[in-house]
Amino acid sequence: MQFETLLLEQKEPGIHLLTINRPQALNALSPQVIAELTGALAALRADPGVRVLLVTGAGEKSFVAGADIAAMSAMSPLEARAFALAALGLLRGFEAAPFPVIALVNGYALGGGCELAMACDWIVAAESAQFGQPEVNLGICPGFGGTQRLPRLVGRAMAMEMCVTGRAVKAPEALRIGLVNHVVPAAGLLDKGLELGRAIAAKGPVAVGIVKHLIQHGQDLDLENALRLEADNFAVLCATADKREGMAAFLEKRKPAFIGC
C-alpha cells in the first residue's frame, strides 16, 4: 500500500514497524492519518504472517503530539463527531488485532497520541517521553477514548487529575503509575521493541491472539464468566496443530515450529 503520512516496513520475520510520518506537524493525527492508519491496520490484519506490530512516530521529538488542531478548529460539531468516531474505530481495531501491538513512544504522546498509545497492548517509552490528556486547555474533552482507557490503566483518581488539569507525566512517573511497561534510553527504543517482538514471534500465534482476547474481554466480565471464557478457549486451542507441535517439542526437548493453526 502507498501512504503519504505513514511508513510501514517489515523489520524481521513476523515483526512489522508502523511509523506515523509527519514530523513537521509532530505526527499529529489528521483525518488523513486516521484514514491511512485504518487502511494499514486492515492490510496487516489480513496478513497471516504478522506476529507483532510496533507503532512509533517519526523524528526525535514526538510520538504523536495530539489530534491535528488546525484541522479540528474548522470542524462543525457533526464533522468533529465523525472524526472522533473514525478514530475510535481505528483504536478499537488495534485492540481487536489478532497480534500484539506495542507502542514505542519516542517523545510527546499527548491527547490523541496518548489515546493511541493506550489502545496498544503495552507501551515502551523513551526516557524523554511525556504523556498527557491536555484537551481541557482547548476547551474540549478527550475524544478518542482518553476518559475511558486512562482510568482503566492508572486508576480513577490519577486519570481524573490528568484529564481535568491537563498535566503531562514524564516517562518515570508514567512507569510508576502503570501507564507504561518499560522506560529505555531513546537510542535503545527500537531495539527494545524488537527484543519484545522476537520473544512474542517465537510463541504460538493462535495462542498469543487468544491470550490477548481473554485479557481484554475478561476484564468486562464477572469472574465466573471470565473463567468459563478462559476454559472454553483453552479447549479450542487443544484442537490446534500448534498445540500438538508445542507439546511434542517440549517432550522432545527442541524448539517448536509453530505454523499458526
Grid cell locating 214: 481473554
Angstrom CA distances, 215 to 78, 81, 103, 237, stand at 34, 30, 18, 16
Is the CB of residue 49 less than 8 Å from the CB of residue 14? yes
- Active-site pick, 9, 135, 161, 173: 135
Q: Residue 10: enclosing H or E segment and its boundaries?
A: strand 6-12
Q: Active-site residue among 36, 95, 115, 173?
A: 115
> Can you give 93-125 as a three-state secondary structure string?
HHHHCCCCEEEEECCEEECHHHHHHHHCCEEEE
Beta bridge partners of 29: 67
36 assigned to active site: no
Q: Is 4 a catalytic residue?
A: no
Active site residues: 115, 135
